[in-house]
Amino acid sequence: MKIRFLGHASFLLDDGRSRLLTDPYLSGNPDAAVSPDEVQADYIFVSHGHGDHVGDTESIARRCGAVVIANVDLLRPLFGGKGIKTMGGNFGGWEELPFGRLKLVSAIHGSGVAGALASGAVIEMGGKKIYFAGDTALCADMMFLKEEDIDLALLPIGDFYTMGPEDAVRACKLICPKLVVPMHYNTFPVIAQDPEYFRTLCREAGFECRVMEIGGELEL
Ligand code: NI
Ligand code: MN
């Protein structure tokens, strides 16, 4: 199971057969590791409707024939009638997929689309369980993730729009992931953070944290 960080909240998860891309904010992000026409994906998970998460979803989905996965209330206004393959479940239900399954979970954050909620996702892929938080505040629902036995938690630490480093460590205490990777920081001046500070806080709390370089890869 390989995870490549493309920048901001975009990761490419690859189990050797299927590739799932999260929140592909690439052409708008000068620091992105790849351009939207370089990335290959079979599935694209979109956590919510803000521009730094929807990003290049439409063009990548069209070129690759990828299935866009998001909350159904978000999918219809954003991608309905565009000739793109979509799969829209809702909170708490597992969606079965060829690579495993995916469940939408709470995120405390605006979705940018009236009537739709922002979400995170628990993703089972390659025999591993990954929690992709999307944009969120610390929230009590995270305590339910502890029983999911999360191998990897991808958590925002940028502050201002989402949890900052201190709350992200409190999230770790609820989730108890085997490994945590910070995301959603340093892309814009208001979310400037030192990820090494977060790593130190994690270590002090007994959690393993890996700070990924943009374009870097880790194996689970
Ligand atoms: Ni957002
Ligand atoms: Mn964001």
Give the CATH number, domain containing residue 87. 3.60.15.10
The total number of structural domains in the chain stands at: 1
Q: What's the rounded mean pLDDT across residues 171-184?
A: 98
Q: Does pTM top 0.95 for this prediction?
A: yes
* C-alpha of residue 184 to centroid of ligand 1, in Å: 10
Give me ligand 1 centre to Cα 88, in Å.
19
The residue segments making up the domain with residue 119 are 2-210
pLDDT confidence bin for 7, thresholds 50/70/90? very high
Centre of ligand 1 from the C-alpha of residue 214, in Å: 20
Question: What pLDDT does 15 receive?
Answer: 98
Q: Is residue 82 part of a domain?
A: yes
DSSP 8-state assignment for residue 199? H
pLDDT average, residue stretch 13-27: 98
- The dihedrals phi and psi of 144, each to the nearest 5 degrees, come to -70, -20
Query: What gap in Å lies between CA 185 and CA 191, rounded to an integer?
Result: 5
Q: What DSSP state is assigned to residue 209?
A: B
